[in-house]
Amino acid sequence: MVTLDFALNTAMQLPAEQKEMLVEILQKRRIEERRKEIAQNAKEAREAFHRGELKEETLEEALERLHASLDSAEDE
C-alpha cells in the first residue's frame, strides 16, 4: 500500500509541467468518481421508490425538508 507521504514525495520529484498534469488528472478522476457515486445513489433511490420505500412529495415539501435538515445540521 502506498502512503500519502510517499505519493507526495514521489510527485514532488516530477518536473513542473508533469506536476500540473498530475493535478489535472487527479481532479478529473475525482470528478468521475463523484459522478459514479451520484449515479449509484440515484439508482438506489429509484429502486427504493419503486419498492414503495419512499413517498412522493411536492417540490415545496422536499425543499422544506431539506431546509429543516440543513438548519438542524447547523445547530449541531
CB-CB neighbours of 22 under 10 Å: 14
Q: Kindly list the distances between the CA atom of residue 29 and the CA atoms of 11, 34, 42, in Å, as whole numbers in the listed order.
A: 17, 9, 20
Query: pTM of the prediction?
Result: 0.66
Greater model confidence, 76 or 63: 63
Q: What are the tens digits of pLDDT across the range 3-23? A: 999 999 999 999 999 999 999
Alpha helices per DSSP H over 1-76: 4-12, 16-50, 59-75
Contact, 60 vs 52, CB < 8 A?
no
Task: Name the band, by pLDDT with cuts 50, 70 and 90, for residue 65.
Answer: very high
Instruction: Please state, for a pLDDT cut of 70, what percent of the chain lies above it.
Output: 100
Greater model confidence, 75 or 20: 20
